Chain A
Amino acid sequence: MALAAPSFPMAPAGVNLRCLHLVARNYLVWRKLMLASLVANLADPLIYLVGLGFGLGALVGTIDGRPYVHFLAGGMLCYSTLNSASAEALYSAFSRLKVQRTWEGILHAPMTIADVVVGEWLWAGIKATLSGTAILIVMYALGIVHGLRPIAVVPALLLVGLSFSAIALVVTTLARSYDLFTYYFTLLVTPMGFVSGVFYPLHQLPPLAQHVAWALPLAHAASLARGITLGDPMPWPWLSVLVLVLYGAVGLALAARIARRRLMK
């Protein structure tokens, strides 16, 4: 039986890179609308930072000894990554899963459900990192950060993006319609944003809320992002990484399982 040569000859034995076909597919579609997407990626956070940061910042004054906009920008790095990961892994992935039947078509080829789910996860994580990086660029432009060290936040943002993409994919593979995503945003993402120290410092919350926050991935993401870009003290950097990895790994495994049950029936 003559099999076509695999296009990833550099892959070590046992490592499966077919999921990259799906990343390539999504990238090629995204490339068609790249300019609009990049402008939105830059304009959206800029509006938030200028609007909230300077408007609200005039009332708030300083937080921990620096302008409010600096504090907010550190949180927005993660919030923007979270939003972008969620939008891609929820709405866009669901279109491909159900509305357009794209996943179904791909499964006629020698691709497995795991290939497709992992591909969507990687792509949403990468796209989210772009959104987060856009904030970093804005931070440089506004003079909030200087030097090279803040660039180290980019791999952290990739971790944050992959973590939230995995959680979103669980919701996507469970969803029967787009309605579920509204609940996900309203009941989970938005409240998480408010308790996780994105818009104001975590230590202003009552102790119970702080405990809840540290069980959620966004507080850890914000802690890492501010630590790397602004030099804020990070209470438990490696625990934060671990929490994000755990949410991502459990989410991805769960999403792949649910997708399998849904599509193999």
Chain B
Amino acid sequence: MLRVGHLRKVYDGREVVRDLSFEVARGECFGILGPNGAGKTTTLRCCLGLTRPDGGALELGGLPVPEAARRARYRVGVVPQFDNLDPDFTVTENLVMFARYFDIPAREARARVPRLLEFAGLGDRARARLETLSGGMKRRLTLARALVNDPDILFLDEPTTGLDPQARHLIWDGLKRLTGEGKTIVLTTHFMDEAERLCNRLCVMDRGAIIALDTPRNLIDTLIEPVVVEVYGEGVAAWARASAAPLVERLEVTGETAFCYMHDPAPLMQRARREPGLKLLERPANLEDVFIKLTGRDIRD
């Protein structure tokens, strides 16, 4: 469905996408993870033919991009990072107008609206003006708009950023229904639970390059120790370096928390329980641990 080969993009002499290659099969949900500025949005824009790459080859739905991007987009739905719904139109008008850009006749577009609104949980908002919608509703309307042409593949750029938990779950349910219907999805996110929940396969991007690509399960199994013990408390940094370090395979200290990675947590737990000032949390390693291990703990802006 989507083929990206040795994609390269340069802005002002800085390589923001470096030799990026991946493929997404029909019916797959593929996630692109990465800290801010990793090149996720640029990659999506290149896939859609909205940005001209400086190298590499792209194929979307069997068509070369950007050369045949316009034709390819007939079969594509897009949910951008920032809402760009048309504020001059009502909810229904937004859908009907957007269908028109796909050369879908107005009558057919109007016939599709009720199902789309039902899907987006906006059945009672058909005639609402845009400024009366909450952020979550706008996101769902954007998702409905992306489906107006019944696309084969959906691109979503951080679909749940800025939404409250209820709204995020509604979006997730919608996306799961779509993958259930056989739609292909490519999404970017920096929420690990979102990626773990939705994606069959995902890649971790950093500084413009893919640094890992596999199923969520395999990434966790192969890239990180299986057990994490988080230790909190005053003076934890000094204690961890002196007492915990010999008992664990990898140790990371940030502020007042020590993250201890290992296969067998028993010796560490025994030692730590003797310290009354420390709080302990033992848990299986997750995708977030993989992500942090791969991309580091530094803030990216």
Q: Give A residues with C-beta under 8 Å from B.
A: 1, 3-7, 18, 21, 24-25, 28-29, 32, 100-102, 104-112, 263-265
Contacts and interface: CB of A to CB of B under 8 A. Distances in A.
Interface in B139-176: 146, 149
A265 to B, nearest CB: 7
B119 interface: no
Contacts of B50: 107-108, 263-264
A263 B66 CA distance: 14
A28 B88 CA distance: 9
| Residue of B75, B89, B98, B101 most packed against chain A (CB within 10 A) | B101
A122 to B, nearest CB: 16
| Residue of B51, B97, B146 most packed against chain A (CB within 10 A) | B97
B48 interface: yes
B86 interface: yes
A112 B88 contact: no
B263 interface: no
Given A104-B80, A104-B84, A108-B76, 14 more contacts: A1-B61, A4-B104, A5-B105, A7-B103, A7-B105, A25-B97, A32-B88, A105-B98, A107-B50, A108-B50, A108-B80, A110-B71, A110-B73, A263-B50
17 contacts: A3-B74, A4-B103, A18-B103, A21-B101, A25-B97, A25-B100, A28-B89, A29-B88, A29-B89, A32-B88, A101-B82, A102-B88, A107-B50, A108-B73, A112-B70, A263-B50, A265-B51
A264 B11 CA distance: 12
B80 A110 contact: no
A4 B82 contact: no
Given A4-B102, A264-B51, A264-B52, A108 B78 contact: yes
Interface residues of B, number: 34
B246 interface: no
| Residue of B74, B83, B88, B97 most packed against chain A (CB within 10 A) | B88
Contacts of A5: 103, 105
A110 B102 contact: yes
Closest 10 CB pairs of A and B: A109-B101, A101-B84, A105-B84, A108-B78, A29-B88, A110-B73, A104-B84, A4-B103, A110-B70, A6-B103
B48 A108 contact: yes
Contacts of B103: 4-7, 18, 110
Contacts of A111: 70, 101
B15 interface: no
Given A21-B101, A105-B85, A108-B78, A1 B62 contact: yes
A106 B70 CA distance: 12
A109 B148 CA distance: 10
A6 B61 CA distance: 20
A107 B84 CA distance: 11
A3 B51 contact: no
A24 B100 contact: yes
Interface in B39-83: 48, 50-52, 61-62, 70-71, 73-76, 78, 80, 82-83
Nearest to A104: B84
| Residue of A4, A5, A102, A111 most packed against chain B (CB within 10 A) | A4
A94 to B, nearest CB: 14
B87 interface: yes
B93 interface: yes
A21 to B, nearest CB: 5
A28 B84 contact: no
